[in-house]
Amino acid sequence: MKKVLCVWLFIVSCLLFLVWGGFRIYKSYDFNIGAGGHLKRAADANTVELATKEMEIAISYIESKNLTSGYTSIFIKTPDEDLGFWYTNLKSSLAELKSVNASASQLEKTNLLIKLRETLLDNGESTSITCPEGISIYPYNLLCFIWGWASYIFAFISFVWMLF
């Protein structure tokens, strides 16, 4: 009886862990399609008009998902996980893009696009969009943390019990 219970607990825990992984993957793709990809396209844009269009799409998604304030961290609120600063920075960049008039020189437009690119991208080992870690699952960060660890721990414990 104990072995059967352990096997079922192990199977259920593994399934919950796989569903957790699938949820994380889905939310990551959803964020990349709605905002991340458009922010990358805005950073890569060669014209102010194109960058403005892409920024508007990304900010619209961000506002619709209420990613405008709060922290993505669970335990310690660090500045790099502050949604309010990130959102305000994006809105400021969009306002700058919209303030460029038609009579602006090509140099001014190019400088603005370079500034936008530096704002939107992080350059490390690889180039990536600047955004708070865990933003794709916000506001479910704590739930995902508990779900992932609990399913992993229950799977491990039930596996060990099956062996004895």
pLDDT digits (tens, 9 = 90+) for 29-64: 999 999 999 999 999 999 999 999 999 999 999 999
Domain count, the chain: 1
b or e along 64-92 (b: 16 or more beta carbons within 10 Å of the residue's beta carbon)?
ebebeebbbbeeeeeeebbbeebbeebee
pLDDT of 70 reads 96
pLDDT of 1 reads 72
The H-or-E segment that residue 123 falls in is strand 121-123
Hey, what are 57's tokens?
């799409």
Range of 65's domain? Answer: 2-163
> Which of the four pLDDT bands, split at 50, 70 and 90, describes residue 79?
very high
